[in-house]
Structure 1
């Protein structure tokens, strides 16, 4: 038996090597389509099939409190969450998590690291094990102020050379020395819903900047609660949590809690991490499977056309005694070679595609740091290869046995055979064009979203601009000391030979996060929670921000105290279309005079989705009369005297021994903008590539259908040409026969895609609705592609002399 299959393998390989064009078309098309399906399936496997890597994951809950105020939702105070953890009795245990950034000083080098400040019970509750040392215990409880730290496995490997002597070592974190008590095991992670990046350092809660005790004038930071209880007890927990929250609200003396409605939320940990991402991943898988279905439909036409060319070989095999089973084995071996070669190539491409998914989906999809080709994905890939091998071998085998169908495809004239053949062809073309149109619609959504992002006018000049963000070098420095030291630093930078001007603000122009405050038209009108930014009067000139009307703040600080500048979006929101310079705007209940309205500027996508496009800008340090703890110190530098800015000069100024500041970031404004639009560029390239692949599949499919139909009708073409028909007439006839089902299929596909998008508006809201300006070029490209795919095979058949066609039929 093995000798028989080895012989079939050699025969199949010889047969395929004689048709390299056919082999390359099949392998490349299948590999690209399968790679898309495999990479998206691996995402679904991670989100739907794999359990969370935490102890008793089904019993873990995320407890949160939100303040509903002025039409927007805000996180509650850290002190409320601390009090809840200390007073709750419903859960078996509860832990706090605060995410911040800290600086590790190592061998005179500074490293900014994502840092988690956690309760002593955090590691044990989630089952986060260590490979060296221990996790936190009662020694690291709140108010003990024990300077201990646990390192991530990655940090231990990269910064400490995986030294086992790390336990007990003192490391400098923001000027305080902490003793390393443990190193987490490889692959041990914190829940994705707690932080945008996995923490590299774990410190006790005592060292967090979050206002856990409500001692600060303005509450700073946020905290998350992970609680362990009984599975499937969500409703009971929610009632208990809300009741305790209402009680604590009255006990905590903070005016913010009295402004809005406090709502408790209790969410299973898996649901908190995954959210609606499972639905999005299923939609992506559906789209990928549609692409594979189109590829299979298209390639099946190539296999059918090839079977037509090989029908003489089949007839000879049968004549010399070959059984149908042997014919099927021959076809199965060929299709298996093609399918498994495609599968191997697809897995290699999928490895790269998974990295692309991690990059593109980093802001919207959870658990991507765990995404890889797992055992489920490998089994799924093998199943696809087996099914494709059976599918591509059975179709030509079935056609070779079905004499009636073969006769129908060869018949011409006006008999029933032609009608049945026409119905088969119309059904194939209609389904083909409908599927391709749907895929083009969905891919155009991704394309239009990313292109819209790229087409946004920045609203400021990025050339010869640099952004310097500073922070306190010593946390013990008061805000007054910082304010006194800052003018000298600005003047030193302004004196650099290439620098033209420097402007102080509390947020960089791309981010423009500021601080959210209530803003209203009048004291009695509706309040809007808007991003209020601070800037010096020269801020707009330094960045080249254009005024629609009005001008910048008064240079006299006393006169500028209660002046405000709005962007166009906030002016329309607060004052309507008929806004005018001199109108009053109330910020935190205090009237400000409108002195200017600027054009809307580019804003980071994640902030735009949370805070909108509205910006309010006031003179620096005029809200609450002091610099807020959460504010940044941003120096916007215009180096107009030189295209290239020497960043080392800034380093020497800021990092001098007497400086009160350290550098958080120093980049050209163009680089800052490029970082924001890089994702949009990558998504646009990916979407455009997907569109091109879809059009290629459409061309292959239509070519296969028309090529098969034309070859089956070459006898008819010969007769028509012998009777005087011109080649152009035959070409026109075939175009008319095929254009109608293709056009109807395109219309049906677009209509069905539109209905699907509208029915799932919540999931497609991020991408908006189909825009004719983006979809029309794709449909036109599809029409041109299909026209070429029709003309090419028909031309090949009709170019033969009519008598040659008649002789071949004999």
Structure 2
């Protein structure tokens, strides 16, 4: 083996151009595969970064017709006390605060968590202590645990931080612990942790918490389902109004993450795998061409006593060596590729911080390199096995084995075209889906709208009167700023990943006996000129006005979908709805339907309540501007601080940025698949060019004779182009059949287009034929430049 390796190195060094082209092609293919597989491995295959993560599950509440929803805190307390399948359980929710008392005010991310979170995720503070059950109850003293990042950034890694006081939304909290470096919460990022029970909503209607649990050793998912099903039935009997029709479901934490991004990542992995197969076909073609020039060498070696197996082993050694060199450089490509992928990823991409090259990726690259070398080396090695010793040693044996080799090269090119077609059709379907999504009207005018979030601290704004007074003054001052055309605010903003649903029923209809029989709508509390700032269409009635106050009749605005569903062919203005947990409200206006959760998602019907009748401390400020909205952020910040210097604005974005962010996962998938499809087309074009150039070189004497007998240059060009077109058409037919079967896998990623969309299939097929035509044109022109006299003399 050492002899074959040494000879392989010497042989590759003798052909630097061939070696460089092959190594770079393989480096791109193997590097891209390693980069994508690193993402798949970290997100889908590798265990979550928690001890015995396979036992971690989510507990979801579910009602027929509404799907999976978050957990109500009282329900959590009940099933946490009654279940027999969980070793520990906890609820968590994202929140945010303005941190003061340690330098300049700063908006920070927090997670409210119950005391069981630390035993559930098996993490403990590196300093201080975790939450106790007594910390996790209403009225308890405020305590907080810092993350390592916040401790270092705002407290200078001071080891005496334990016991220090800080203020969150102007309320005092005591630091009781610091989490270790690398600590992460499931599905959420944070700067600090606070007990959830301090101000938990005790209503069973309020589904707002994420439930995480750890199964007891040996407990199966089926057993957990069965146990929770019994508990949910008990809760339905005890609380029919709020829990009737609701069930409890269990889903593995890993399975939940897989559902979010699994299909997209597996499609990308399949795509990059096709690119590597196309690269293998290209290298195999190069090796076949190279083997033609080396057949006398192989024949001489055989004549001197080398066995056929020795020759085959030598060729496979060269192939695997090429692949290993390509794989080594591919690791550098993969490292750059991972950085590129992470920079492109959507903001909410799960476990992005765990994506990196590790020892398992080194083993993957090694395995892929060896497998790749064997794949593209097996065909030339097989041809060398079939070597005709006598023919190859004859001086006229120049064409020995040419027919079979050329047939193999044609077959490889057909495979390249077919695989490129499959990949390009996939990219075409995603592009068309993306275009369709971008054409969806969100229900409001996105241009020139600036948004930002503001949270009023409960300590300073303890009642509705103070809260309402602050926002009234702020919006009134803001709308007089130069460049501001309208100023408003809302408790929920479209496409902001924050939505609030409320149950309702129509006046005059029987009150539903069970909570699951209620109708649900997206709900938002709005202030000021919110509808005008968002550019929403008024269909009927009026917007809210100054006459809608706390002591006036309760009113609401609904969207046109709710009006069409419950009052078809009627004027809904003047009709009334019962809002669960609220009151009877009269409809005073109807606005156009908007896309709350995504341009590609069906949104529930929508209801809007005036801020003056339901003040809310956490609001999204919205401003319609006459110029660049981003340029107005400083002026608005000054207006806020003029009223309260301790407040911090955060998530300052234009509405166009929010729309763009909502499309980030689709954009991520489309961009990568287009890159891979473009690379596949390039490799296919190179393959077609190589086969046609090889064919012209082998048939140069034939071309010369044809031209000597009167054939025109156009006839010779047509001969070469027709040969390329035959290969292209065969590849397209095979590729169409394969794509018809495989594209169904990506149906869940498509929008407004079927997995077998005829225009995409037709357009990509034509593109492949055009690419084949262009790739064959240069060899076709070269064929017409053969000198007939030289060709005849050579014969």
Same fold (TM over 0.5): yes
Q: Does the aligned pair in 2 maintain the 1:43–1:371 contact within 8 Å?
A: yes
Once the two structures are TM-superposed, the CA of residue 269 in structure 1 deviates from its matched residue by 4.3
Q: Does the aligned pair in 2 maintain the 1:473–1:660 contact within 8 Å?
A: no
The answer for the alignment partner of 2:451 in structure 1 is 467
Is the partner of 1:444 in helix, strand or coil? helix
Aligned: 1:616 with 2:606? yes
Once the two structures are TM-superposed, the CA of residue 426 in structure 1 deviates from its matched residue by 5.5
Which residue of 182, 203, 206 corresponds with 1:214?
203
Once the two structures are TM-superposed, the CA of residue 497 in structure 1 deviates from its matched residue by 3.1
Which residue of 694, 697, 713 corresponds with 1:727?
713
Q: Does the aligned pair in 2 maintain the 1:66–1:76 contact within 8 Å?
A: no
Q: Does the aligned pair in 2 maintain the 1:513–1:533 contact within 8 Å?
A: no
Alpha carbons of structure 1 residues 776 and 513: separation in structure 2 relative to 1, 3 Å: farther
Aligned: 1:86 with 2:81? yes
Aligned: 1:453 with 2:437? yes
The answer for the alignment partner of 1:496 in structure 2 is 481
Q: CA offsets, 1:604-649, max 9 Å, x none?
A: 53x863xx24553546248xx424x6x8433322333787744333
Once the two structures are TM-superposed, the CA of residue 79 in structure 1 deviates from its matched residue by 1.0
Which residue of 343, 362, 373 corresponds with 1:378?
362
Note the 1:666-681 alignment, pairs <5 A: 666-677=652-663, 680-681=666-667
Q: Does the aligned pair in 2 maintain the 1:453–1:680 contact within 8 Å?
A: no
The answer for the alignment partner of 1:67 in structure 2 is 63
C-alpha separation in 1, matches of 2:283 and 2:405: 19
The answer for the alignment partner of 2:468 in structure 1 is 483
Q: CA offsets, 1:215-254, max 9 Å, x none?
A: 9xx73732414143132433333222222233234445x8
Alpha carbons of structure 1 residues 130 and 510: separation in structure 2 relative to 1, 3 Å: closer
Note the 1:647-662 alignment, pairs <5 A: 647-656=633-642, 658=644, 662=648
Q: How many equivalent pairs are there? A: 776
Is the partner of 1:264 in helix, strand or coil? strand
Once the two structures are TM-superposed, the CA of residue 398 in structure 1 deviates from its matched residue by 4.2
C-alpha separation in 2, matches of 1:220 and 1:309: 73
The answer for the alignment partner of 1:171 in structure 2 is 166
Aligned: 1:709 with 2:699? no
Once the two structures are TM-superposed, the CA of residue 676 in structure 1 deviates from its matched residue by 3.6
Which residue of 92, 95, 108 corresponds with 1:113?
108
Q: Does the aligned pair in 1 maintain the 2:91–2:209 contact within 8 Å?
A: no
Q: Does the aligned pair in 2 maintain the 1:145–1:204 contact within 8 Å?
A: no
Q: Does the aligned pair in 1 maintain the 2:720–2:779 contact within 8 Å?
A: no
Once the two structures are TM-superposed, the CA of residue 38 in structure 1 deviates from its matched residue by 0.9
C-alpha separation in 2, matches of 1:524 and 1:463: 41
Aligned: 1:235 with 2:222? yes
C-alpha separation in 1, matches of 2:33 and 2:555: 58
C-alpha separation in 2, matches of 1:380 and 1:27: 18
Alpha carbons of structure 1 residues 76 and 436: separation in structure 2 relative to 1, 3 Å: same
Which residue of 549, 552, 564 corresponds with 2:557?
564
The answer for the alignment partner of 1:437 in structure 2 is 421
Q: Does the aligned pair in 2 maintain the 1:60–1:229 contact within 8 Å?
A: no
Which shows bigger deviation, 735-744 or 276-285? 276-285
The answer for the alignment partner of 2:619 in structure 1 is 633
The answer for the alignment partner of 1:413 in structure 2 is none
Once the two structures are TM-superposed, the CA of residue 300 in structure 1 deviates from its matched residue by 1.6
C-alpha separation in 2, matches of 1:364 and 1:765: 21
C-alpha separation in 2, matches of 1:127 and 1:563: 47
Is the partner of 1:667 in helix, strand or coil? strand
C-alpha separation in 2, matches of 1:450 and 1:430: 30
Note the 1:581-592 alignment, pairs <5 A: 587-588=577-578
Q: Does the aligned pair in 2 maintain the 1:540–1:552 contact within 8 Å?
A: no
The answer for the alignment partner of 2:269 in structure 1 is 285
Which shows bigger deviation, 556-565 or 753-762? 556-565
Once the two structures are TM-superposed, the CA of residue 80 in structure 1 deviates from its matched residue by 0.8
Q: CA offsets, 1:148-172, max 9 Å, x none?
A: 3333233334443434343343333
C-alpha separation in 2, matches of 1:527 and 1:67: 10
C-alpha separation in 2, matches of 1:433 and 1:523: 65
Once the two structures are TM-superposed, the CA of residue 185 in structure 1 deviates from its matched residue by 2.8
Aligned: 1:100 with 2:95? yes
Once the two structures are TM-superposed, the CA of residue 446 in structure 1 deviates from its matched residue by 2.8
Q: Does the aligned pair in 2 maintain the 1:451–1:684 contact within 8 Å?
A: no
Q: Does the aligned pair in 2 maintain the 1:31–1:343 contact within 8 Å?
A: yes
Once the two structures are TM-superposed, the CA of residue 434 in structure 1 deviates from its matched residue by 1.9
After superposition, the CA RMSD in angstroms is 4.3
Aligned: 1:737 with 2:723? yes
Q: CA offsets, 1:339-358, max 9 Å, x none?
A: 34432332223234334544
Alpha carbons of structure 1 residues 472 and 227: separation in structure 2 relative to 1, 3 Å: same
Q: CA offsets, 1:365-408, max 9 Å, x none?
A: 64333222222211110122233344555544543553469989
Aligned: 1:27 with 2:23? yes
The answer for the alignment partner of 2:122 in structure 1 is 127
Mark the runs of 5 or more structure 2 residues left unpaired by the alignment.
395-399, 511-516
Alpha carbons of structure 1 residues 756 and 583: separation in structure 2 relative to 1, 3 Å: farther
Once the two structures are TM-superposed, the CA of residue 263 in structure 1 deviates from its matched residue by 0.9
Is the partner of 2:484 in helix, strand or coil? coil
Once the two structures are TM-superposed, the CA of residue 297 in structure 1 deviates from its matched residue by 0.8
Once the two structures are TM-superposed, the CA of residue 785 in structure 1 deviates from its matched residue by 1.0
Q: CA offsets, 1:544-583, max 9 Å, x none?
A: 4455x5574375736996563525x55665566xx57657
Is the partner of 1:438 in helix, strand or coil? helix
Alpha carbons of structure 1 residues 641 and 300: separation in structure 2 relative to 1, 3 Å: closer
C-alpha separation in 1, matches of 2:443 and 2:755: 26
Alpha carbons of structure 1 residues 616 and 125: separation in structure 2 relative to 1, 3 Å: closer
Aligned: 1:263 with 2:263? no
Which residue of 657, 673, 677 corresponds with 1:691?
677
Q: Does the aligned pair in 1 maintain the 2:701–2:792 contact within 8 Å?
A: yes
C-alpha separation in 2, matches of 1:275 and 1:149: 33
C-alpha separation in 1, matches of 2:177 and 2:739: 53
Once the two structures are TM-superposed, the CA of residue 765 in structure 1 deviates from its matched residue by 7.7
Is the partner of 1:109 in helix, strand or coil? coil
TM-score by length of 1: 0.82
C-alpha separation in 2, matches of 1:170 and 1:42: 43
Is the partner of 1:255 in helix, strand or coil? helix
Q: CA offsets, 1:175-209, max 9 Å, x none?
A: 333333333333333333xxxx23331222333x4
Which residue of 203, 227, 249 corresponds with 2:194?
203
Q: CA offsets, 1:68-93, max 9 Å, x none?
A: 3x555543421110222234344343
Once the two structures are TM-superposed, the CA of residue 772 in structure 1 deviates from its matched residue by 4.3
Alpha carbons of structure 1 residues 37 and 184: separation in structure 2 relative to 1, 3 Å: same
Q: Does the aligned pair in 2 maintain the 1:554–1:560 contact within 8 Å?
A: no
Alpha carbons of structure 1 residues 405 and 250: separation in structure 2 relative to 1, 3 Å: farther
Alpha carbons of structure 1 residues 369 and 749: separation in structure 2 relative to 1, 3 Å: same
C-alpha separation in 2, matches of 1:394 and 1:154: 53
Is the partner of 2:126 in helix, strand or coil? strand
C-alpha separation in 2, matches of 1:587 and 1:92: 44
Once the two structures are TM-superposed, the CA of residue 359 in structure 1 deviates from its matched residue by 5.8
C-alpha separation in 2, matches of 1:681 and 1:763: 11
Q: Does the aligned pair in 2 maintain the 1:64–1:225 contact within 8 Å?
A: no
The answer for the alignment partner of 1:784 in structure 2 is 770
Note the 1:744-755 alignment, pairs <5 A: 744-755=730-741
C-alpha separation in 2, matches of 1:687 and 1:189: 31
Note the 1:13-52 alignment, pairs <5 A: 13-16=13-16, 19=17, 22-47=18-43, 49-52=45-48
Q: Does the aligned pair in 2 maintain the 1:581–1:596 contact within 8 Å?
A: no
Once the two structures are TM-superposed, the CA of residue 338 in structure 1 deviates from its matched residue by 4.2
Alpha carbons of structure 1 residues 154 and 651: separation in structure 2 relative to 1, 3 Å: same
Q: Does the aligned pair in 2 maintain the 1:553–1:560 contact within 8 Å?
A: no
Alpha carbons of structure 1 residues 777 and 31: separation in structure 2 relative to 1, 3 Å: farther
Q: Does the aligned pair in 2 maintain the 1:298–1:701 contact within 8 Å?
A: yes
